[in-house]
Amino acid sequence: MLRLVRAAEMREMDLDATRCYGIPGLILMENAGLGILDVILHQFFKGEPQGKKVFILAGPGNNGGDGYVVARHLINKGALVQIVITTSPENYKGDAAVNLKIVNDMGISCQVLRPDAVSVLQPIIKEADIVVDALFGTGFKGVPREPLASLISMVNEAGSPVLAVDIPSGMEADTGRVNGECIKAAATVTMGMPKIGLYLNPGSDYTGEVVVGDISFPPQLKSEDGGGFYLVDEKMVADVLPSRLPMQHKGDFGHAVVIGGTRGYTGAAALASNAALRGGAGLVTAVVPEQLYPIVAVKLTEAMTYPAPGCKNGGFSGSCCASIQPVLDKATVIAVGPGLGQEEETAEFLEELLTKASVSMVLDADALNILAGKKHLLTSAFLAEQRRRWVLTPHPGEMARLCGTSISEIQENRLEYAEQASQEWGVTVVLKGNKTIIAAPGSPLFINPTGNPGLASGGTGDVLAGLIASFLAQGSLPEQAAYCGAFIHGLAADQIAGKKGTNGMIAGDLLDEIPLVIEGLSAVGKRGRQV
């Protein structure tokens, strides 16, 4: 599990390294430069730096200082290094000034950027074997000003590979926001601890491969405190995946009940039900309006189907709840919402279901849209204990309706809204989208790195809902089921993209890939336990 930090936390860690452990800033800067050097040598130069052309863009802060350390070591290894600094040398302070003086004393070409002469750098940038972006640090916010905006644009257009120091210049470290020109890096070496913005949209589109540079922080500085932000990874998922032993039977893996489907949307309930089976639930029952039962029964072979009597106009109504009680009594988990519809009678049905059900629940799609008009269910003290077993899976539009705001506002502040909703309502929130956010009461926030644009297809959300339900059915905690489901769902899409591309990916493709992903992760978990 990879811990992520905000810029202010990183600055405090830097200070503590010196204050509490006596590590001078110059040592930290030297280690940062050596980490960058290692990536350049092995990933870009294949161990052969002799004669390579290196162009370094250095700002006045510590990022610039890291760049000077890199320059010094590359010169010593036979590379041809040129540096452009963004302000006069007398404006440089502290450790960066020390390292700037060293490169000047070594006779390394170092020129001050002139606003009227940015264009003269174009041929140099185009000819470079690598451009090192050491312009802005983690404190950057807003829009790059001229002439730096033009310089960044020129670098991006030149086509030379770019390595970003700590974060690509133009990106905000805490949010991943890009408000103007921003370096498009082939790789980013982030120092000490990875910054949150590197893994959020749109920042993640600018980073290239992210490498965490070891600057010799003592382990105590990086210790996990139970809070903060984490990147979901395969080991984290593998460690909590439900295990299957030879003597176990289907009854040991829970019974997932999927409630959904309305006229024109029968596929949603079928996809969620099949996903629950593919995720490992021992038994799955799809509950659908009785008028639609023949259609759904044909779609589902392995899952059981149950026709809900008393439904009107091909959708659920208030009287349905009592009629499906025999099924609900057998449920380990209930997933409700895929293709549910939003009729007034359906809303009455959902409210009755939520007030009576005592098992874990996944609320998706139309269930969320209904909740947006019945916010008392999210704040009622009567349901507080039950809500701790709820997992909500909104896309940005559904989240906007739940929070009473715009989609753009949600997208601009994904971490904040996910965390706030989770804490205020006492539920686990899976805010879907590019880099899905998982938030649970009293837990860190998790960012899921898997997935691709192929998931922008109808039905993929239904698959995710069913997958999360399957893990809940097998005994996972809500937050575990949420981040396992999001990670596996996205990884299945990534593996499909590797075989077929992203265009034309459909929800059904995921169903066949999910067991393969789970098997691969299970093998990772077994290796970890053997070690």
Tens of pLDDT, residues 478-488: 999 999 999 99
Report residue 283 as tokens: 């038994």
Q: Kindly state the average pLDDT of the residues 107-126.
A: 88
Q: Kindly state the average pLDDT of the residues 242-247.
A: 86
Q: How far apart are CA 272 and CA 278, in angstroms?
A: 10
The DSSP string of 42-83 is IIISTT--TT-EEEEEE-SSHHHHHHHHHHHHHHHTT-EEEE
Q: Kindly state the average pLDDT of the residues 142-150.
A: 94
What is the number of other CB atoms lying within 10 angstroms of the CB of residue 295? 16
Q: Is the pLDDT of residue 11 over 70?
A: yes
Q: Is the pLDDT of residue 523 over 90?
A: no
Q: Residue 422: exposed, middle, or buried by beta-carbon count in 10 A (0-12, 13-18, 19+)?
A: buried
Q: Is the pLDDT of residue 312 over 80?
A: no
Q: Is the pLDDT of residue 280 over 50?
A: yes
In percent, the amount of the chain with pLDDT more than 70 equals 97
Handedness of CA 333, 338, 342, 345 (dihedral sign): negative
Q: Mind listing the pLDDT tens digit for each residue in 323-365? A: 899 999 999 999 999 999 998 999 999 999 999 999 999 999 9
The DSSP string of 191-233 is ESS-BGGGGSTTGGGT--EEEEE-----GGGG---S-SEEE--
The HSE-up count of residue 528 (CA atoms within 13 Å, CB side) is: 14
- Of 283, 221, 235, the C-alpha closest to 469 is 283
Q: Residue 264: exposed, middle, or buried by beta-carbon count in 10 A (0-12, 13-18, 19+)?
A: exposed
Q: Mind listing the pLDDT tens digit for each residue in 381-416? A: 999 999 999 999 999 999 999 999 999 999 999 999
Q: Tokens 């395969």 belong to which residue?
A: 234
Query: Cis omega (within 30 of 0) on the bond before 147?
Result: yes
Nearest 10 degrees: Cα torsion 95, 96, 102, 108? 170
- In this structure, of 251-255, 463-467, 493-497, the range with the lowest mean pLDDT score is 251-255
φ, ψ of residue 266 in degrees (nearest 5): -70, -25
Q: Mind listing the pLDDT tens digit for each residue in 411-441? A: 999 999 999 999 999 999 999 999 999 999 9
Question: What DSSP character marks residue 34?
Answer: H
- Of 454, 462, 508, 456, the C-alpha closest to 485 is 462
| More confident call, 280 vs 224 | 280
Q: Which domains, and CATH codes, for the chain? A: 2-223 (3.40.50.10260), 234-530 (3.40.1190.20)
Q: Kindly state the average pLDDT of the residues 181-192.
A: 96
pLDDT band at 149 (very low <50, low <70, confident <90, very high): very high
In whole angstroms, how far apart are CA 480 and each of 331, 333, 338, 519, 528? 19, 14, 22, 18, 18
Report residue 40 as tokens: 């350049």
**Cβ(369)–Cβ(339) below 8 Å:** no
| Alpha carbon 151 to its chain's center | 30
**Cβ(277)–Cβ(307) below 8 Å:** no
pLDDT band at 225 (very low <50, low <70, confident <90, very high): low
Give the pLDDT confidence score for residue 29 in this predicted structure: 95
pLDDT band at 322 (very low <50, low <70, confident <90, very high): confident
pLDDT band at 321 (very low <50, low <70, confident <90, very high): confident
Lateral strand order in the sheet of 304-308:
2-4, 229-231, 445-447, 437-439, 428-431, 390-392, 360-363, 333-336, 255-259, 283-289, 304-308
pLDDT band at 141 (very low <50, low <70, confident <90, very high): very high
Q: Kindly state the average pLDDT of the residues 527-531.
A: 51
Q: How far apart are CA 166 and CA 169, in angstroms?
A: 9
Query: Cis omega (within 30 of 0) on the bond before 202?
Result: yes
- Rounded to two decimals, what is the model's pTM? 0.91
Q: How far apart are CA 94 and CA 524, in angstroms?
A: 46
- In this structure, of 91-100, 143-152, 217-226, 318-327, the range with the lowest mean pLDDT score is 217-226
Q: Kindly state the average pLDDT of the residues 302-328.
A: 85
Give the pLDDT confidence score for residue 224 in this predicted structure: 57
pLDDT band at 309 (very low <50, low <70, confident <90, very high): confident
Give the pLDDT confidence score for residue 227 in this predicted structure: 60
Beta bridge partners of residue 430, listed in sequence order? 438
Give the pLDDT confidence score for residue 524 in this predicted structure: 77
Give the pLDDT confidence score for residue 531 in this predicted structure: 44
**Cβ(228)–Cβ(444) below 8 Å:** yes
Q: Residue length, the chain? A: 531
**Cβ(232)–Cβ(211) below 8 Å:** no
What residue spans of 319-406 are helical by DSSP H? 320-323, 325-328, 344-356, 366-372, 376-379, 384-387, 396-403
Report residue 379 as tokens: 């704040």
Query: Mean pLDDT across the chain, nearest whole number?
Result: 93
Give the pLDDT confidence score for residue 528 in this predicted structure: 54
